């Protein structure tokens, strides 16, 4: 203020953004989430796997973490009306769980469902091979290979701008080694987080799976299950979904961290076609 006059400063020049502008960007088709092809889970996640964010599935072995990843990888290829973003996928496989046979069965199921409900033969429906041609896989046998693959992701994406989804299944596999708890482990993980954040800043969805470990409560000595890699890693994830079985042996997906979604739990099943909704009790419909 000078001589009693108020000087108005352009808010945008200071880095401020209008909430309405941010909301419009979220509605933009380029920021549309990638469907998991499980409607109940998609609804809970406000559409699916979020682009421009680090998304995580946590759970014990056998809960379907890899199948969630493979199904999302398939989904990413399709146009928005089929739950995808018309993009390509990078799949970093650290545990050897990636299966082309499983991918094929998931593709067949999605094409069959949409052909039955929305499309006609000859309407430009993609083939199984054309979808597989958009998924780039990298098998990592140890931590060195995994970190090398992740550090090369930005260059890979530079050469392939259609990539919209990067999957690491799992992020914890090669970290559960002798240097756990050391500074080297923390530095290595932080370097990986930097790459993930840069990819997310480019509007790419980063999807990782995480294992669980047993921890002991101080004082009581009682044990409980916790996600691997520790508390510091959890702060870097935008959306976190815990996969588990409830007391009735039903598979549950619990959204326990998200700035966009409320904390909630949905049930799912693993079928021959892939991840699907859990039918209500007494529903015998196909």
Using left for φ > 0, alpha for ψ between -120 and 50, and beta otherwise, residue 238 falls in alpha
pLDDT value of residue 283: 57
pLDDT value of residue 17: 82
pLDDT digits 0-9 by tens, 205-232 = 999 999 887 666 666 666 656 677 877 7
Q: How confident is the model at residue 28 (pLDDT cuts 50, 70, 90)?
A: low
**Residues listed for the chain:** 286
pLDDT value of residue 75: 96
pLDDT value of residue 286: 44
Helices 100-117 & 65-77, crossing angle to 10 degrees? Answer: 50
Please list the residues that pair with 7 across neighbouring strands: none
pLDDT value of residue 99: 96
CA torsion, points 175, 212, 257, 148, in degrees to nearest 10?
20
Look at residue 115 and tell me whether its pLDDT is greater than 80.
Answer: no
Q: Is the pTM of this model over 0.75?
A: yes
Residue % of the chain over a pLDDT of 90: 59
pLDDT digits 0-9 by tens, 165-184 = 999 998 988 887 655 557 77
Mean predicted confidence (pLDDT) in 148-157:
97
pLDDT digits 0-9 by tens, 82-93 = 899 999 999 999
Q: Which of 239, 286, 279 is nearest to 38 (CA)?
A: 279
Tokens at residue 44, please? Answer: 């809970």
The mean predicted confidence, pLDDT, of the chain is: 86
H/E segment holding residue 42 = helix 39-44
pLDDT value of residue 9: 59
Look at residue 103 and tell me whether its pLDDT is greater than 60.
Answer: yes
For 113, counting Cβ atoms within 10 Å of its Cβ (0-12 exposed, 13-18 middle, 19+ buried), the class is middle
Q: Name, of 6-10, 11-15, 60-64, 218-222, the range with top average pLDDT.
A: 60-64
Tokens at residue 223, please? Answer: 């044990």
Vertex 245: Cα angle to 241 and 246 (nearest 5): 105
pLDDT value of residue 117: 65
**Domain map (residue ranges) of the chain:** 33-277
Mean predicted confidence (pLDDT) in 11-25:
74
Q: Strands, E, within 180-277: which ranges? A: 205-210, 212-216, 223-227, 239-245, 251-257, 264-270, 275-277
Mean predicted confidence (pLDDT) in 34-38:
96
Q: Does domain 33-277 have CATH number 2.40.50.1020?
A: no
pLDDT value of residue 207: 98
Q: Give the C-alpha separation, 185 to 111, whole Å.
A: 43
pLDDT digits 0-9 by tens, 260-274 = 889 999 999 999 999
Mean predicted confidence (pLDDT) in 246-254:
95
């Amino acid at each position: 203020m000078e001589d009693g006059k108020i000087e108005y400063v352009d808010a945008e020049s200071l880095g401020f953004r209008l909430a309405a502008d941010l909301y419009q960007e979220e509605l933009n088709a380029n920021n549309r989430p990638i469907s998991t092809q499980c409607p109940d889970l998609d609804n809970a996640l406000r559409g699916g796997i979020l682009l421009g964010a680090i998304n995580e599935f946590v759970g014990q072995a056998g809960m379907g973490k890899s199948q969630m990843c493979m199904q999302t990888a398939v989904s990413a290829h399709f146009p928005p009306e089929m739950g995808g973003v018309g993009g390509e996928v990078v799949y970093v496989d650290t545990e050897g769980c990636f299966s082309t046979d499983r991918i094929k069965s998931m593709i067949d199921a999605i094409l069959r469902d949409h052909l039955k409900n929305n499309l006609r033969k000859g309407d430009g429906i993609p083939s199984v091979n054309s979808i597989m041609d958009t998924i780039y896989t990298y098998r990592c046998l140890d931590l060195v290979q995994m970190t090398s693959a992740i550090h090369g992701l930005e260059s890979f994406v530079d050469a392939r701008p259609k990539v919209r989804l990067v999957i690491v299944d799992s992020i914890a596999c090669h970290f559960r080694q002798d240097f756990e708890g050391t500074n080297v482990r923390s530095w290595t993980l932080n370097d990986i987080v930097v790459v993930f954040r840069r990819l997310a800043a480019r509007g790419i969805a980063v999807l990782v799976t995480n294992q669980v470990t047993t921890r002991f409560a101080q004082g009581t000595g009682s044990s409980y299950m916790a996600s691997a890699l520790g508390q510091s890693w959890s702060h870097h994830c935008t959306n976190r979904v815990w996969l588990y079985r409830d007391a009735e042996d039903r598979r549950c997906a619990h959204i326990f961290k998200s700035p966009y979604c409320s904390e909630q739990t949905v049930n799912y099943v693993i079928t021959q076609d892939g991840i699907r909704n859990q039918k209500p009790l007494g529903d015998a419909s196909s």
